[in-house]
Structure 1
Amino acid sequence: MSYRNCAFGLICRKFKPHLLMVIVQIAVTFLYFLLVASFDNGMNPHVFVTYRHALGGIVVLPFAYVLERNLRPRMTVAMFLELFLLSLIGVGLNINMYFASLKYTSASFVTSMVNTVSSLTFIIAVALRLETVEVKNPRGQAKIFGTLLSLIGALTMTLYKGHAIPSLHGSPIHIRGHSVHNNWIKGSILAIAGCISWSLSYIMQAVTVKKYPAQLSLTVWLNFMGAAESAVFTVLTQHKSAWSISSNIQLWCILYSGVVSCALVMFTQIWVIEQKGPVFVTMFNPLGTILVAIMAYFVLGEQLHMGSLLGGVIVIIGLYLLLWGKEGDQDLLKSQQQSSLTHDEQKESRTQAMASAEQEVHNGT
């Protein structure tokens, strides 16, 4: 029994990042519908971003201060400017444009567009020479073809609406307001721009977390800086009346988003990026698309369009072609690292691995 418990523990540790990302997608799914309801009640998306990131920073601050007191690296001017730029791209630009696009389109459309982040991240990484592509290799061809498919799917969702699938009149909740779904062209442009900045932020996070390995403290910095940047933009562009919270749904949306999305989800994603890389995080976006589409249709009675469904399917196919090609990179890297070891080093590595496994079994007993 102890050996089985030990084996179960090893499996849980191996798939811990997978489980955490599934939980993240479930948590974000609920946020989308709180947002749609809040925007329908007149909440300003830029004010929302300011409040939620300020609250997220406040929630994580005491944990970061206590748990990472001896782990935080010294803050330099260069690191401060790097964090400022990362928060500007990942919060100030990305989140503001992303939530504004949700106000003008729909939850199903916006979550479908998020699936293009993996392809955009891949394109930017190739342009920056952070990613290599072997055109003659099948996995390299899968990367290229998958990227093209994802972009075609995104264009399909943006430019083609198609036949409308009627909403369910018997759904429990109906959201129909003048502030939602009233400008698809503007919302599409904002969604595309938000996805581009999102891709850039993932690449920057992967670089920054290596220089600043204190994930909790990094979460605090990004939240507070993002809130400050969003506040400046809001003060310059919005009327002061936009800062008021006029309903309970707006209050609950800010609390849920601040505690769950900006504190727990952001910290989890930073940890998973450090463990598995930025592309691994984006591969779970299709799960969020499916969950949102199902809940939007059956719970909210949201109308679906064939263009969104067709484009979403194309994007998901392209995404997993890209991920299949990326998986080959990991296998190639492991084989290259293994082949670079001498015979004695390989023997010592195998001995250490066996000793570690025996120690874990012994601890389990």
Structure 2
Amino acid sequence: MALHVLASMGDLWRRYAPHNLMILSQLCYTLMYFITEAAFNKGLNPFIYVTYRHLVVAVFLAPFAYYQEKKLRPRMTLMLFLEIFVLSLLGVSLTLNMYFASLMYTSPTFVTSVVNTVASITFVIAIVVRMEIVDVRSIRGLAKVAGTVVSFAGVTTMTLYKGTAISSPWKAPISIHGGGGGGGVHESWLKGSFLAVASCICWSIWYILQASSLKRYPAQLSLTAWMCTVGGIQSAVFTAFMQHKPEDWRIGFGLKFWCIVYSGFACNGFTVFAQLWCTEKKGPVFVTMFNPLSTIMVAILAYFMFGENLYVGSIIGGVVVILGLYMLLWGKDKDQEYNANKQQESDLDCEKQARITEFSAAQNDQEEPRRTKK
């Protein structure tokens, strides 16, 4: 009986493995926001956090990438390195420094809500650079346009309208606020909002550039290791100008240290692997559909577990952004179905034409001897 139950559970896990992995990934991201916020409240500088986080991942990832992708990795050239440099700037150092700096001025709920606009911003940029074609005469095209507009309306609401604070009705079971240099946290909502939006724009550009870079550098693990290394160095140079005191770089082995380790291994390690695996199995739309789950989990934990205020503007804007995201994803999904069906029809037409040609040739071959006899 017990073996039968275990076998059934194993079958369920295999059947829903992509779903389970994506839920775990979003949970990892959710916990990261609160651990990071707690570390910031204890005095961890966001720039130092980004620097250490990616250098740790680079050291861990580089040996695996070197041995795993020896045959797949192309030869490094100056132009390729410059391309990786730009990718690292947009995908790691500049973007994440702005992103985590925005967390100091806003809240985890706000930041996770704004991230949901990345798909819409990427869609707009893709249209501008002619990587995406929109058929506004079709319902799927209208859904993509409407979803983008709705997402932007949501993020505008969150940015410009903070709204009334909704306080938690009971004392927080877990407190992540405290001394240690975190007095400036959440001091400027508007500043944090613009930093978050700017980071999302950079992220979107990075997604566009990454798509073309992977064609020239198909070794994904090596590219990730390169970006973590170069991005970490870029962030270190920037942080050295911002943080002159050597003691700022000393993090000890307390919360700050474990925050960096957790973020590096859980969010840059496990979640990246899970997303790549799920993308291969289920496609990119499936992976993107789970992104709002982190927003919901962050809001629930922030309010009930950590006693953080929820703001009306963030709630309204977050719901609108998620609605817009799913409208856009629905349109993209229907686009893929349409293109797949069109390709299938084209293949069938080609196959049909080939059969007709083959049949005609066979008939001609049969008629040729008859003509010869006559």
User: Is 1:315 the counterpart of 2:316 in the alignment?
Assistant: no
Q: Tell me the equivalent position of 2:218.
A: 213
Alpha-carbon distance in 2 for matches of 1:267, 1:92: 21
1:250 offset after TM fit, Å? 0.3
Asked if 2 retains the 8 angstrom alpha-carbon contact of 1:124 and 1:200, the reply is yes
Q: Which runs of 5+ in 2 are unaligned?
A: 1-6, 355-374
Residue 211 of structure 1 deviates from its aligned partner by 2.4
Aligned position for 1:182: 187
When Rg is computed on C-alpha atoms for both structures, the one with the higher figure is 2
Partner of residue 54, structure 2: 53
| Moved beyond 6 Å, runs of 4+ | 8-11, 274-277
Residue 312 of structure 2: which of 306, 310, 328 is its match?
306
Partner of 2:82: 81
C-alpha distance 191-63 of structure 1, shift in aligned 2 (>3 A): same
AA matched with 1:259: F
8 Å contact from structure 2 (residues 144, 329) kept in 1: yes
* 1:77 positional shift: 2.0
Any conservation in 1 of the 2:152–2:321 contact (CA below 8 Å)?
A: yes
C-alpha distance in 2 between matches for 1:81 and 1:274: 28
Three-state SS of the structure 2 residue aligned to 1:245 is coil
Identity %: 53
Alignment-derived partner of residue 102 in structure 1 = 103
Shift of 1:265: 2.7
Map residues 216-227 of structure 1 onto 2, 5 A cutoff: 216-227=221-232
Cα deviation digits, residues 165-196 of structure 1 (max 9, x gap): 11243321123351321111111110010111
Q: Which among 185, 201, 213 is matched to residue 196 of structure 1?
A: 201
Q: Partner of 2:31 in structure 1?
A: 30
Cα distance in 2, alignment partners of residues 343 and 161 from structure 1: 57
Counterpart-to-counterpart distance in 2, 1:77 and 1:19: 41
Question: Aligned partners of 1:239, 1:265: CA distance in 2, in Å?
Answer: 33
Task: Give 1:207's aligned amino acid.
Answer: S
Distance 1:280 1:179, change over 3 A: farther
Matched, 1:285 2:286: no
Q: How many residues align?
A: 341
Q: Which residue of 2 aligns with 1:356?
A: none
The alpha carbon displacement at 1:272 in A equals 5.4
Structure 2 CA distance for aligned equivalents of residues 16 and 199 of structure 1? 28
Aligned partners of 1:322, 1:144: CA distance in 2, in Å?
A: 7
TM, length-normalised to structure 1: 0.86
Q: CA deviation at 1:266?
A: 3.4
- Counterpart of 1:119, as a letter, is S
User: Which letter maps to 1:250?
Assistant: K
Report the more deviating stretch, 166-175 or 35-44. 166-175
Question: When the two structures are superposed, what TM-score results if normalisation uses the length of structure 2?
Answer: 0.84
Give the deviation of 1:346 after TM superposition.
8.0
SS of alignment partner, residue 190 of structure 1: helix
User: What are the Cα deviations for residues 47-69 of structure 1, in whole angstroms up to 9, with x where unaligned?
Assistant: 01010000001111222122222
Q: RMSD in angstroms over aligned alpha carbons?
A: 2.5
> Are 1:233 and 2:238 matched, yes or no?
yes
Any idea what SS the aligned residue of 2:347 has? coil
- The counterpart of 2:341, out of the listed 312, 320, 335, is 335
The alpha-carbon distance between structure 1 residues 312 and 44, as it changes in their structure 2 partners (threshold 3 A), is: same
* Secondary structure of the structure 2 residue equivalent to 1:151: helix
Deviates more, 1:319-328 or 1:266-275: 266-275
Distance verdict in 2 for CA 1:289–1:164, change over 3 Å: same
Amino acid at match of 1:210: K
Alignment CA distance shift 1:47-1:71 (3 Å):
same
Q: Flag the 1:10–1:106 CA change in 2: closer, same or farther, 3 A.
A: closer
Residue 35 of structure 2 aligns with an amino acid whose one-letter code is: L
Contact 1:223–1:262 (CA under 8 A) maintained in structure 2: no
Counterpart of 2:359? Answer: none
Aligned to 2:358: none
Task: Quote the Cα distance in structure 2 between the aligned partners of 1:87 and 1:277.
Answer: 25
Partner of 1:351: none
Q: CA deviation at 1:271?
A: 5.5
State how far apart, in whole Å, the 2-side matches of 1:144 and 1:23 are. Answer: 31
Q: Secondary structure at the match of 1:340?
A: helix
Residue pair 1:209, 1:274 contacting (<8 A) in 2 also: no
Distance 1:97 1:280 in 2: 28
**1:253 and 1:65 mapped to 2: Cα distance?**
27
